[in-house]
């Protein structure tokens, strides 16, 4: 790639190359949901229920919004099935 092309090439964001760490339990979170919202894609991360049973998703959930024109992960996320939350972690 020519250096001038490199400077003008748009950056891309790949959610699968990112790590999101919980500030409560200090463990890595997992992508549990994906939604398209206007001009951005919204990814939801939560702590793994088995590894961090003390983390309440309503408190520690992380939302990452990525502009659609920069998102390099959309097709893969549309193909992924997301796990259902266990009944014990459902709001009461």
| pLDDT tens digits along 45-66 | 999 888 888 899 889 999 999 9
Within a domain: 69: yes
Within a domain: 8: no
Q: pLDDT, tens digit, for every residue of 2-30?
A: 555 556 556 888 888 889 999 999 999 99
- What is the rounded distance in angstroms from the CA atom of residue 24 to the CA atom of residue 89? 16
- What is the rounded distance in angstroms from the CA atom of residue 20 to the CA atom of residue 52? 14
Q: What's residue 63's pLDDT?
A: 95
Domain containing 36: what range? 29-83
- What is the rounded distance in angstroms from the CA atom of residue 24 to the CA atom of residue 64? 18
- What is the rounded distance in angstroms from the CA atom of residue 17 to the CA atom of residue 61? 19
Question: Nearest-CA neighbor of 31 among 40, 21, 44, 20?
Answer: 44
Average pLDDT on 32-54 reads: 91
Number of domains in the chain: 1
Residue 90 pLDDT level (bands cut at 50, 70, 90): very low
Within a domain: 6: no
Within a domain: 77: yes
The CA dihedral of 67, 70, 73, 74, to the nearest 10 degrees, is: 50
């Amino acid at each position: 790639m020519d250096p001038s092309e490199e400077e003008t090439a748009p950056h891309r964001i790949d959610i699968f190359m990112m790590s999101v760490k919980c500030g409560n339990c200090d463990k890595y979170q997992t992508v549990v949901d994906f939604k398209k919202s206007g001009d951005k894609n919204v990814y939801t991360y939560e702590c793994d229920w088995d590894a961090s049973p003390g983390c309440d998703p309503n408190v520690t959930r992380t939302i990452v919004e990525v502009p659609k024109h920069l998102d390099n992960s959309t097709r893969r996320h549309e193909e992924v099935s997301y796990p259902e939350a266990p009944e014990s972690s459902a709001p009461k």
